[in-house]
A = this chain, B = another copy of it.
Amino acid sequence: MHYSPNEIVIFFLSISLLLFFARVIGETMQYIKQPIVIGEIIAGIVLGPTIFGSIFPAMFNELFNSSQIAMTALEGIIILGVVMLLLVSGLEIDLSLVVRQGKAAMLVSSAGILFPFTIGFFIAYCFPEWMGIKDINMRFVFALFVGISLSITSLPVVARTLMDLNIYKTKIGLIIITSAMFNDLVGWIVFSIILGIIGQNSHPIDLPTLIIVLFSFIMFMLLIGRKIINFLFPYIEKVTTSPGGVLNFIFVMGFLGAAFTEYIGIHAIFGAFIMGIAIGDTVHLKEEIREVIQQFVTNIFAPLFFVSIGLRVNFIDNFDLGIVSIFLFLAFVGKIVGCGLGAYWGGMSKNESLAVGFGMNSRGAMEIVLGTIAFQVGLIHEKVFVAIIIMALITSVVSAPMINFFLKRSRQLLTFLSLLKPENVFFTNSSSKQEVISQLCQTLANQYKLDSNKIFNEVMAREKLISTGLENHLAVPHAKIDVKDPLVAVAIHKNGIEFESLDGLPAKIIVLLITPKNDAELQLKLLAEISKQMNNIEKINKLVDSKDVNDFISKMKSLP
């Protein structure tokens, strides 16, 4: 227990190294648009026995094996880190959102748990040697674990991906997030029970009692505890120094929850997670306090956990292509079919359903926590551990580009703002409606190598049926022609030109909208969006007053 100077040196040196490499490789991943956690895990593989340890074994042993005390302390900090990570993950779960998004999310997440769980459990139970079982007597528990490991979804990675794609607050984004939250909750409960089963030999509480205690704890915290916390919060804020008092309260509660679940024979992180949900739900928790916790935990403590994964095993020696392949295959099939079907039954299009499936497929941090614990309690051996980490990494990396691909195909990403390009916006002085439409057609024709006359004729034909001059100085001439993607061009006329508008005002902003021939729905959607984007005269006037094209576009994006 006494720290010698040498042990303190190793302690700080190893922490610095882990943090530094986690950050550098994490930032590199960020740079190529991948979740930072992937870089943190790769950093661990680089610093661990796989690379650094096999090239410089003496240095590696000096740093990570020579001091029993320094390593015990590091392991303690890593346990603290992962408990804090789950506490923060819990804080992010919004129970009211789960209730509100109700039906669709329930379908997606139920199917997204049941289907992968069933195929995972079935394959692992019938062909346990395919999945690299460690102890054949543990067949049932192992199959349960495989089922759960396939049905987990990583809330933090999913949330990050949706934010990056700018669809966090859209309907499809909310459904994915809600399903992921529900998934996490169910997945962790079942995993806790598995841990309870494994721990049975060494633990005084029998399984039925354990399950009753566990459910009572969950129900108590999410129904009554949550209300008590919500009630106490303003009082705590009032009598304590801000933000220290609340910060302290959150960690004390989280650690007590951790101690409690660990005591009843379930991993500590589960208690922290449930406490996080109960605390995060209060409306009184200030954004800046959430921010302090979030920043500190995700940037200092969580990386120490993720980077430590690579220190545990040699990823090359323990790479088993068969086991990795079957885990990957089952992971992809299970989630994409399961969640995809759920979304499809919930009334989404085929492309949207696939986007949901790939969104829910990312296993990320949560899977890694689960795999690490299973490895530590001796449920799985090195090869399965490596397969699970690789599966978690690949499903997470694939997620964002695939959501992007299917949402693009389902036109969810085609918005007026995303179609607006500076080269297709210009100021004009033309004196007639015909002339400005001709300029707009010419612009698009030049840009995309199209036949200007053909577009012009189509637009004018539409214009003859009824004028596209709307209200508030806005006009939206449009046509469907033979293009693959929709196109827009914008002309700005400071004084306005007569456009036979509904309210008789001259048109100052003229938007030309070209959409693919056989997609009436897309045209309607974009027309509705354009008129909604410019639905008041004040905004139009501000837009018309733009200094230049870039100013116009930035106002377009920022004005309410």
Contact = CB atoms under 8 A, between A and B. Distances in A.
Contact of A79 (B3, B252, B255, B296): B3
A114 interface: no
A13 B490 CA distance: 64
B79 A76 contact: no
A296 B247 contact: yes
Contacts of A243: 295, 299
A81 to B, nearest CB: 11
Interface stretch (A16-24, A424-432, A462-470, A527-535): A16-24
Q: Most chain-B CB neighbours within 10 Å: which of A1, A74, A252?
A: A252
A314 interface: no
Interface in A240-264: 240-241, 243-245, 247-249, 251-252, 255-256, 258-259, 262-263
A165 interface: no
B262 A36 contact: no
A251 B5 contact: no
Interface range, A side: 35 or more
A8 B268 contact: yes
A72 interface: yes
Contacts of A410: none
A334 to B, nearest CB: 31
A30 interface: yes
A556 interface: no
The 8 A-B residue pairs with the shortest CB-CB distance in the complex, in nearest-first order: A73-B76, A12-B259, A244-B299, A16-B255, A23-B248, A296-B296, A13-B259, A72-B72
25 contacts: A3-B76, A3-B79, A5-B199, A5-B203, A5-B265, A8-B79, A9-B259, A9-B263, A9-B268, A12-B258, A15-B255, A19-B248, A19-B255, A23-B245, A23-B248, A23-B249, A27-B239, A27-B245, A30-B241, A36-B241, A69-B72, A77-B77, A77-B80, A244-B295, A244-B298
